[in-house]
Structure 1
């Protein structure tokens, strides 16, 4: 008896591959997680909600949207939250794309982008990164056609690390038709240091209603296990995304943790600074060893190893890193001891010992 068959575009999807587990959480440098525990007050605030988990969450996310509005100065109707920014991305693609539509995607970039496009039945038009691992925005603009519904910009780019400059992004958005949604993925924005880095919020403030900014609590805020992310967009775009997001997606526990995290801004800043300092240690250490490392502005570094990527990752055990077969290896910034262990193993790889 024949079994139900998915749509061809769905059947062709290669499932998302999570970062490799490590023998110790402290040695897991494969998933861009924050190595520090939740911010002060987060566990207590989340635990207080556990006594009412027999009730459905607040589907309107009132506390979270009020907190985001307070943190950004924007009206609460400009936000749309989901279970991580990747969930919001899937909702945005499904809301604006269907069979026959196209999405312009920089590549190599976030592994979930092609999955979101294929799930909607659309076609990903991939544009290679430049030799320095940055977006080729001119080529991406040229790839836009009358079938393009969405373009994706990842800054800093995951997994390669560089940012898009604000001037380049301004020119790119000006070149894209107003009816094309420009998704600016800023999952790692808290770790960015260049003053000329792109700002999706500045473009929204300048009146670009076709810009959508993705943010997450999984990285700098350290809530990867609770899954909270959100979009910032025009009121109309945000309402559209909320309309296609399954109700009760973000739990009250996750919402409480996110609100508490926003209230711990000073400690967040100190922890982000510590990660950035260790990122600089990793980059300097690797370059001193002779590795080519692109500019790193997230909480990770990239090694363009090509065909050696998988073998290198195996040799780094017990430190877990993230190989992209045939392309390179992404190494998350961990605690100092883990970073030093990785640097020692990387040096041994070079010397063949």
Structure 2
């Protein structure tokens, strides 16, 4: 003990780490994967971005909003929330906006899960789920997909325990592209206890061209939360804007626990303008769906396992995914490989599609022409 300050002599204290140490569950988290060849390839088919930039109307709206960057944005993306609510028939208390659907999911998990709780989700599904669940301090419970690369909703319902606080359904599923039908979702919701959140992640819903909007289920199932984004079909991945719809009680809790001013003025202006361009959205989706059908057919002709996709991407199920990814990079196109499971290819223009097919032919060792 120091005789002058009363502070213990440092030489008597146990040795300390040389750097600050995170929580053990954070230290154990995997990093979000990165595709090969980024920055060196001609075509990027690895991140499920739109290959088409936003319209001039959207760009002009974003540029005009920059004149007010000395001021904070609205607290909860008020103008965007109002526009979304009016079209979907929801009140402002049923919608909240944020910097993409992923931060909104993180807010949700932070508010409703935590140490000692579990979150059930399909696997393989979006690779960020186990990371976000771990950050919240909860345990990730992955339920294997079926042989057709689809959610096994009955098995997911059976995996719910006393510790389960949330279940995530990715529809269409990333990275396999497979979809859950409205009737399947309805049966699943009927089986889930009302004190368990059901998080429906619809980042790619526009490309599945659904006949029904699942927000119609919110009054019947107050534990349902729906996530959507402007990063994919609306072409605003670089702006970061998304929204969440749920019961007013859930929205209030999210707003109470969220950092203020979560959606930038520029992103909100772009999202509001893009939301109004319904005809352009339809044309964009139609072009992606047509190219997706072409690529799916060509890959199946080559004998590959490619499930029907409802996203702006296709999934090639294969164990040696890394080898195909390397072949694609050699043909100047980046894709996303999940070694042991498969390769995800984002839909772009025909030159990018042809580069992928050339890479596949090279990998298979038997070049064939396309129809």
* TM-score class normalised by the smaller sequence: over 0.9
Report what 2:337 is aligned to. 323
How many angstroms apart in 2 are the aligned matches of 1:316 and 1:253? 35
The equivalent of 1:173 in structure 2 is 189
Deviates more, 1:339-348 or 1:140-149: 339-348
Q: Deviation per CA, 1:269-314, whole angstroms, max 9, x where unpaired? A: 10111011111011011111111101111000001111x1111101
Alignment of 1:195-210 (within 5 A): 195=211, 199-205=213-219, 207-210=220-223
TM-score, with length taken from structure 2: 0.91
SS at match of 2:305: coil
Q: Take 1:18 and 1:257, find their aligned partners in 2: how far apart are those partners?
A: 27
The question of 1:281 aligning with 2:294 is answered: yes
2:6 corresponds to which residue?
Answer: none
Report whether the alignment pairs 1:300 with 2:296: no
Q: For residues 188-211 of structure 1, give each alpha carbon's deviation from its aligned partner in whole angstroms, at most 9, with x where no partner exists.
A: 00000465xx75313214x10000
- Checking the alignment, whether the CA contact within 8 Å between 1:79 and 1:231 is kept in structure 2 is yes
* Cα distance change, pair 73–190 in 1 and its aligned pair in 2 (3 A): same
Q: 1:28, CA displacement in angstroms?
A: 0.1
CA distance in 2, matches of 1:257, 1:350: 43
Partner of 2:233 in structure 1?
Answer: 220
CA contact (8 A) 2:328 2:356 kept: yes
RMSD: 1.6
Greater displacement, 25-34 / 100-109: 25-34
Query: How far apart are the structure 1 equivalents of 2:143 and 2:243?
Result: 26
Q: Where do 1:74-89 residues align within 5 Å?
A: 74-89=90-105
Instruction: Give aligned pairs, total.
Output: 349
Question: Helix, strand or coil for the counterpart of 1:41?
Answer: helix
Correspondences of 1:139-158 after superposition (within 5 Å): 139-158=155-174
Whether contact under 8 Å (2:45, 2:336) holds in the other structure is yes
Scaled by the length of structure 1, the TM-score of the pair is 0.95
Larger Rg: 2
Corresponding residue of 1:347:
361
Distance, in Å, in 1 between the alignment partners of 2:61 and 2:334 is 32
Instruction: Using the TM superposition, give the Cα deviation of residue 106 of structure 1 relative to its aligned residue in structure 2, in angstroms.
Output: 0.5
Q: Is the counterpart of residue 94 in structure 1 residue 110 in structure 2? A: yes
State the secondary structure of the residue aligned to 2:155: helix
